[in-house]
């Protein structure tokens, strides 16, 4: 069966519609997609992000390290990346921040690049601020043997 460009476009539109509907259902379920993780008050259910804390243990092999500080107000866009001002190869020695991993300079084919690879540039897609907040959804996750607390 030959798939025409009209069929491809219809499939793309249906996929986009499914994403919109699932987002609307998620928001209707009481999840605020615009809520900042840093809350200044202490009402029940709020999360207080510490300004700086010790690094937490990882829970599994190759887990992206958690961020031990607030990232409120950090800008990460195609033109600027606030994270690299401390963690970049030019700055980590003077800031004392951990250096960005060499794996972040490799493209999808394994070629080493002179700058951070585009697929690794948006830090907050993998690295998240750490907190000791209760899980939103109960689960039975336990760290791999030798990891975690």
Does 13 count as an annotated binding residue?
Answer: no
Q: Which two tokens stand for residue 103?
A: 């794996």
> 91 among the known binding-site residues?
no
Helices (H), 29-149: 84-87, 92-95
Instruction: Put residue 50 in one of left, alpha, beta given phi > 0 → left and psi -120 to 50 → alpha.
Output: beta
Tokens of 41: 């008050």
69 marked ligand binding residue: yes
List all residues 6 or more positions away from 33 whose beta carbon is below 8 Å from its beta carbon.
23, 26, 27
Distance CA 147, CA 59 (A): 5
Binding-site residue set for heme c: 69, 83, 86-87, 104, 123, 126-127
The annotated binding site is made up of: 69, 83, 86-87, 104, 123, 126-127
């Amino acid at each position: 069966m030959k798939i025409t460009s009209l069929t491809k476009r219809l499939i793309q539109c249906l996929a986009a519609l499914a994403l919109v509907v699932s987002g609307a259902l998620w928001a209707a379920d009481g999840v605020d997609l615009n809520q900042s993780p840093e809350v200044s008050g202490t009402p029940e259910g709020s999360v207080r992000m510490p300004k700086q804390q010790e690094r937490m243990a990882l829970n599994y092999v190759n887990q992206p390290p958690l961020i031990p500080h607030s990232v409120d107000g950090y800008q990460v866009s195609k033109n600027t990346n606030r994270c690299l001002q401390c963690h970049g190869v030019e700055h980590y020695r003077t800031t004392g921040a951990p250096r960005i991993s060499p794996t972040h300079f490799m493209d999808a084919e394994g070629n080493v690049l002179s700058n951070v690879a585009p697929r690794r540039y948006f830090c907050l897609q993998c690295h998240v601020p750490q907190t000791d907040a209760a899980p939103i959804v109960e689960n039975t996750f336990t760290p791999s043997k030798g990891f975690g607390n």
